[in-house]
Amino acid sequence: MAKDVKVLGPGCKRCDRAVAMAHDAAAQTGVAVTVEKVTDYAAIAGYGIAATPGIVVDGKVVHAGGLPKPEDLARWISG
Amino acid sequence: MAVAHALRPPSPLPWLAATVAGLVVWAALYSQLVPFSDWLVSLLPVERHSHLGEAIAFFFYDVPKVLLLLTLVVFAMGVVRSFFSPERTRALLAGRHEGIGNVMAASLGIVTPFCSCSAVPLFIGFVSAGVPLGVTFSFLIAAPMVNEIALGLLFALLGWKVALTYLGFGLGIAIVAGWVIGKLKLEAWLEPWVLAIHAGAVALPEATQTWPDRIRAGLEAVREIVGRVWYWIIAGIAAGALIHGYAPEELLASIMGKEAWWSVPAAVVIGIPMYSNAAGIIPVVDALLGKGAALGTVLAFMMSVIALSLPEMIILRKVLSLKLIAVFVGVVGTGILAVGFLFNLLFA
């Protein structure tokens, strides 16, 4: 089953870059993913983060605020 | 620094050495500013002491100087900020009482990485995790107002005393305004859906940060921020150079000087619809000061441009009622007015 990756962010430039990075990490590690953008403020806040973009893998928040390191992202997606 | 960027050595030493080398190059460039600008002007068919010659010399000296100093400040702030995160700041502030909470929130607002598109998630994230409303406001006022661009440019153009004073008064306004908003107990004026969220705070896996990572964060901040504002700075300094070369001194002194008390509120009101181009405004401000505008008036204008911005209020409207936004503008605006008047009184 494909990993479920969500990028939390109201739609700023960094959020778009985070989405692209998630696709890159998936291609690099060979893991099948579905990447979804969550832009609704209430939904974002529901994950308990305080800074965007946030990244959620299979329902678990792994990152919040700024862009993650590519190697960290690859580890979260393949882990 | 650019050379080391391509490599990924396991030891932090090459990174630290590259940083030191970068600082040495920086200092060498900085020491050559005056000869460089004189040399450039001497190449032009312009009399050095004419109006045009003065304006051009001002421009060629100020642009590299401001960009160099801004790069240094932004790099340093980028490294410092790698030690903080909004989540950690929130954990430090949750459940704090007013007073000490406001002081901590305003101080953390300076060093916590924060981008304006994060303002709403951050606001909800703080309030729903138990950070008091007034303490949250102290953070939200300090974070944009005392930023590295404003501090870096003030330092570059007006010296460290003015930069430090701006820092102190910016912190003061954030602390007092947040404290007042907390005392007013306005939680009921939040939008109802915000109060309904009780997400609590999520525990993030601890990110591994090494010194090379932190230096890289500083370089990334330089690339991002200086890359975004450099043309505003050049445009602002060009405008400043024209004012420097041509504007009559008496005219500005009568409009923006100390004697004209009404210029302080006028500066605050004019500043509200202006947004985020602090980078372009500060060089103009510098030239205005040189022509007799009062420092308090000019600082009030700057703070108003940065801290009371219309676009940010429109974003915050999603979580705050209009009444609460009005209180926010009123309290912060009063603080800025006080700073303006105080400065004009203190600095002759």
- pLDDT tens for each residue of A19-43: 999 999 888 888 888 999 998 888 8
Please name the member of A50, A61, A72 whose beta carbon is closest to the beta carbon of B122: A50
Residue B3 is predicted with a pLDDT of 45
Burial of B348 (0-12, 13-18, 19+ CB in 10 A): exposed
CB-based contact A10 B117, cutoff 8 Å: yes
Contact criterion met (CB < 8 Å) for A51 and B121 = yes
Q: In percent, how much of chain B has pLDDT > 70? A: 88
Residue B34 falls inside a structural domain: yes
Amino acid at residue number B209:
Q
Question: Which A residues in the span 15-34 are in contact with B, Cβ-Cβ below 8 Å?
Answer: 15
Is residue B200 assigned to a domain?
no
Sign of CA pseudo-dihedral B21, B26, B32, B37: positive
Q: Which of A8-22, B249-263, B282-296 has the lowest mean pLDDT?
A: B249-263
The mean of the pLDDT values for chain B is: 83
Task: Give pLDDT, residue B1.
Answer: 43
Q: CA-CA distance, B55 to B66, in Å (whole number)?
A: 16
pLDDT of residue B4: 45
Domain-embedded: residue B7:
no
The lowest-confidence range among A50-54, B246-250, B290-294 is B246-250
What three-state secondary structure class fits B128?
Answer: helix
Report the chain A residue with the minimal C-alpha distance to residue B129.
Answer: A48
Considering A28-42, B2-16, B168-182, B255-269, the range whose residues carry the highest mean pLDDT is B168-182
| pLDDT tops 90 at residue B106 | yes
Q: Averaged over B239-265, what is the pLDDT?
A: 74
| Interface check A57 vs B, CB under 8 A | no
Q: Is residue B20 part of a domain?
A: yes
**pLDDT digit string (tens) for B273-329?**
776 556 777 777 777 777 778 888 888 888 888 888 777 788 788 888 889 899 989
Backbone φ, ψ for residue A37 (5° rounding): -95, 135
In angstroms, the Cα distances linking A45 to A30, B15, B45, B93, B120 are 31, 38, 61, 18, 9
Cβ–Cβ gap B113/A51 under 8 Å = yes
Residue B208 lies in a domain: no
Q: What is the number of structural domains in chain B? A: 1
The whole-number pLDDT of residue B107 equals 94
- Cα angle B129-B127-B205, degrees, rounded to a multiple of 5: 40
> Contact B69/B152 with Cβ under 8 angstroms?
yes
State residue B229 phi and psi, 5-degree precision. Answer: -110, -5
Residue of B118, B209, B210 to mutate for A, most A C-beta atoms under 10 A = B118
Q: Is B218 on the interface with A (CB under 8 A)?
A: no
Q: Which pLDDT value is given to residue B337? A: 93
> What is the distance between the alpha carbons of residues A9 and A16, in angstroms, rounded to a whole number?
9
- Say how far apart CA B329 and CA B127 lie, in whole Å: 20
Give the pTM: 0.82
Measure Cα distances from B283 to A27, B16, B39, B101, B256 in Å.
47, 33, 23, 35, 16
Tell me which residue has tokens 């090379």. Answer: B212
A31: CATH? 3.40.30.10
Report the percentage of chain B scoring pLDDT > 90: 20
Answer yes or no: is B327 within a domain: yes
Best of A17, A41, A77 to substitute, by most chain B Cβ atoms within 10 angstroms, is A41
Query: Contact B56/B44 with Cβ under 8 angstroms?
Result: yes
Best CA proximity match to B91, nearest among B130, B121, B122, B120:
B130
| Structural domain boundaries, residue A57 | 3-78
Please check the confidence at residue B34 and state whether its pLDDT lies above 60: yes
Instruction: For residues B72-82, give the mean pLDDT.
Output: 91
DSSP conformation letters of B265-317: HHHHHHHTT--STHHHHHHHHHHHHHTT--HHHHHHHHHHHHHS-HHHHHHHT
Judge contact between B291 and B253, C-beta under 8 A. yes
Contact assignment for A49 to B207 by CB distance below 8 Å: no
With contacts defined as CB-CB under 8 Å, which chain B residues touch A9? 117, 121
Mean pLDDT of B106-132: 84
Name the more confident of B37 and B68: B68
Which one of B116, B202, B228 makes the best mutation probe of the A interface by having the most chain A beta carbons within 10 Å? Answer: B202
C-alpha to C-alpha distance for B175 and B166, rounded to whole angstroms: 14
Provide the residue range defining the domain that includes B24. Answer: 13-195+213-346
Total tally of structural domains belonging to chain A: 1
Measured in degrees and rounded to the nearest 5, phi and psi for residue B240 equal: -60, -40
> Rounded to a whole number, what is the distance in Å from the CA of B96 to chain A's nearest CA?
17
* pLDDT tens digits, B115-125: 766 778 888 88
Are the Cβ atoms of B90 and A50 closer than 8 angstroms?
Answer: yes
Q: Is residue B76 part of a domain?
A: yes
* Cβ <8 Å between A49 and B125: yes
The pLDDT of residue B348 is 56
Section B133-154 average pLDDT: 88
H or E stretch at B165? helix B160-183
Beta carbons of B183 and B134 less than 8 angstroms apart: yes
What phi-psi label fits residue B72: left (phi over 0), alpha (psi between -120 and 50 degrees) or beta?
Answer: alpha
Gap from A8 CA to chain B (nearest CA, Å): 10
Residues of A in contact with B81 (CB under 8 A): none
Count other Cβ atoms within 10 Å, centred on residue B92.
Answer: 15
Is B199's CB within 8 Å of A69's CB? no
Domain assignment of residue B158, yes or no: yes
Q: What is the pLDDT of residue B336?
A: 92
Integer angstrom CA distances of residue B257 from B216, B260, B302, B315, B345: 44, 6, 16, 35, 12
Location of structure tokens 């007042």: B180
Tens-place pLDDT, residues B16-30: 899 999 999 999 999
- The three-state secondary structure class of B131 is coil
Q: What is the token pair recorded at B340?
A: 């303006």
Structure tokens at B135: 């303490």
